[in-house]
Chain A
């Protein structure tokens, strides 16, 4: 029998999310290289409808893993149900998207199963039967090749958009769906999730902005924000920021751009003193034109920048603001 790649399909309140399809695309890709079969699993109280949706993808089988105790996500419930499944089905690889939910339970699951987890990978390459996973280290300054040692299952989570949702291959006919009853004991689920909410005050909607001037830790001190604000005003744009600026309280959280803040796609995004960590990039890389000013020419932000300026933002920004004002007054 050929090897199996089990892929975990994440959902929120019964709706399959984009990470589910990205994970399926990754698993299909890996299965192609390893000549393995893909089995997709979705966990929930009533995962049937989602399983049918997943069955449209070109996979061997879809497992609808059900239990009343899987009604809401808990690390305890998910790790227990997934461990059962993996012990029974013995996949070679288990594939995830590197989401907040996966970060919360996949390391626990892998530890329980005794296999490794290569987390937050960008991709992989094959050397014969050996698979080498590639991930960022040192906040994206370097890449690292990671190999598994020891026995499977080998778990891997891929970074957002490492594989694209639209790369999912549809099957010629719906894949068979198998209903699996997870046997969970309520007393082992120790964490109690509550309501999901958003902080109320949302003064700006950066998603509507056409031009964003975003500042990062390179701005050094809150009093220097004025300089960036003036550039934003001259351009008729909004001010945004990387997370540390909002963490420090220099700007309110509704100005934060990235995976835990806003996702924006303006026609012009200026990144001033932002290193370009993946969590920031996911929130802005859809921008039409990206300008990066950074004194470190190796900064990852330059990988997504259309135009790059290697230099000190304190020297670059004031003349830029002047030039914009001059241009506009013409």
Chain B
């Protein structure tokens, strides 16, 4: 089975985020980045499917030079090779444009299965995977918590709201968006890290992918990013932990009357 795993880099979870001077995105210099969490689970799922059924796992990442780090991590964990979509015209694409670029790269690979995370921890549009399926003409299923691969089809467990699930079937080739928690992602081994160094990373720009400016035209744009205005009804307590504990209990007992 040939599997493409789309994986992106996002600011590290504990990173302190600051707005950029134009207030239209965050300041990316001096920031640490990591692989988007759901994408890590998608990668793990791809590696497990390969271990079980054979085949190849190809990482596909759109992002600037720094994204190499995410790609290397995936290769160290066991992916076979990578496509790195990097071009100045890719910088401010919306979900549709990103899916267009990914589709152009993935089409040439003709995979059996495409996996993506269900959404990213930065923009969080939760659209790229589904748009990608439409552009590739593939059936898809979202928010997947289990995959059983058969010869020519997949049986997948789709998460629904409020603790419900649904089994569904779809023919291959197909695209799935993966939910966090589907598996326990592995760590890279030292051997894997060494081995990754010789794995091929193919760089692809808009030219190589025959992408016109028109195809990448955004359908929406983020015009401003800002700190949320707090409704600010919250009462904050300060002091030593012991003082805070006493004040809180007093409030819970005598003001909120919940104790």
Of A25-33, A88-96, A320-328, the one with at least 4 CB within 8 A of chain B: A320-328
Which B41-61 residues sit within 8 Å CB-CB of chain A? none
| Number of A-B contacts defined by CB within 8 Å | 248
Task: A320 to B222: give the CA distance in the assembly, Å.
Answer: 43
Q: B85 an interface residue at 8 Å Cβ cutoff?
A: no
> Is B133 at the interface (CB under 8 A from chain A)?
yes
Q: Does A308 contact B (CB under 8 A)?
A: yes
The 3 closest A-B pairs by CB, nearest first: A116-B219, A247-B181, A190-B139
List the B residue with the shortest CB-CB distance to A156: B220
Asked whether B211 is an interface residue with its Cβ less than 8 Å from the other chain, the reply is no
Is residue A67 within 8 Å, beta carbon to beta carbon, of the partner chain? no
Which of B71-79, B189-197, B198-206, B232-240 touches A? Answer: B232-240
In the bound complex, do residue B225 and residue A142 qualify as a contact, i.e. CB atoms below 8 Å apart? Answer: yes
B127 touches A288 (CB 8 A): no
Which residues of A in the span 102-124 have a Cβ within 8 Å of any Cβ on B?
Answer: 103-105, 107-108, 110-112, 114-120
B227 engages A142 (CB within 8 Å): yes
* B123 contacts partner chain A, Cβ-Cβ < 8 Å: yes
Q: Is the CB of A309 within 8 A of B220?
A: no
Beta-carbon contact of B169 and A320 below 8 Å: no
The reply to whether A120 and B223 form a contact with Cβ atoms under 8 Å apart is no
| A148 and B218 alpha carbons, distance in the complex (Å) | 9
Residue in B166, B169, B221 whose CB lies within 8 Å of A147: B221
Could you tell me if A243 and B181 are in contact, using CB atoms closer than 8 angstroms?
yes
Interface segment out of the listed A43-51, A53-61, A256-264: A256-264
Tell me, in angstroms, the Cα distance from A298 to B180 when the chains sit together: 24
Is A172 an interface position by the 8 A CB rule? Answer: no
Q: Mark B3-22, 1 if CB is under 8 A from A, else 0.
A: 00000000101000101000
Most-contacted residue by chain A among B26, B99, B245, B249 (CB, 10 A):
B245
Query: Is B237 in contact with A142, judged by CB distance below 8 angstroms?
Result: no
Contact with B244, one of A117, A259, A309 (Cβ below 8 angstroms): A309
Question: Is there an interface contact between A142 and B19, defined as CB atoms closer than 8 Å?
Answer: yes
Contact between A143 and B225, CB atoms less than 8 A apart = yes
- Measured CB to CB, the nearest residue on chain B to A197 is B165
Residues in B with CB closer than 8 Å to A190 are 139, 170-171
Q: List 28 A-B contacts (CB under 8 A).
A: A99-B161, A100-B161, A103-B143, A104-B142, A107-B95, A110-B96, A110-B131, A111-B130, A117-B95, A117-B127, A132-B223, A137-B122, A138-B122, A143-B225, A144-B225, A145-B223, A190-B170, A192-B169, A235-B259, A243-B180, A247-B180, A260-B161, A303-B228, A303-B230, A307-B234, A307-B237, A319-B241, A322-B245
- Assess whether A137 is in contact with B123, with CB atoms less than 8 Å apart: yes
Give residues 134-179 of A contacting B (CB, 8 Å).
135-150
Tell me the complex Cα distance, A308–B231, Å. Answer: 13
B162 and A260 form a contact (CB under 8 A): yes
Question: Which positions in B face A, CB cutoff 8 Å?
Answer: 11, 13, 17, 19, 26, 94-96, 99, 118, 121-127, 130-131, 133-135, 139-143, 159-171, 180-181, 184, 217-228, 230-231, 233-237, 241-242, 244-246, 248-249, 251-253, 256, 258-259
Shortest distance from the beta carbon of B257 to any chain A beta carbon, whole Å: 9
The smallest beta-carbon distance between B150 and chain A, in angstroms, is 13
Cβ contact of B235, chosen from A75, A196, A303, A306, cutoff 8 A: A306
Question: Least Cβ distance of B45 to chain A in Å?
Answer: 14
For A327, the chain B residues whose CB sits under 8 A away are: 249, 253, 259
User: Nearest A residue to B153 by beta-carbon distance?
Assistant: A192
**Given the complex, which residues of B lie within 8 Å of A259, measured CB to CB?**
161-162
Q: In the bound complex, how far is the Cα of B234 from the Cα of A273, in angstroms?
A: 17
Q: How far is the CA of A199 from the CA of B167 in the complex (A)?
A: 12
B contact residues around A147 at 8 Å (CB): 220-221, 223
> Is the CB–CB distance between B163 and A260 below 8 Å?
yes
Across-interface contacts of A75 in B (CB, < 8 A): 130, 139-142
Given contacts A146-B221, A263-B162, contact A107 B131 (CB under 8 A): yes
Question: Which B residues lie within 8 Å of A135 (CB)?
Answer: 124
- Whether the pair A119, B163 counts as a contact (CB closer than 8 A) is no
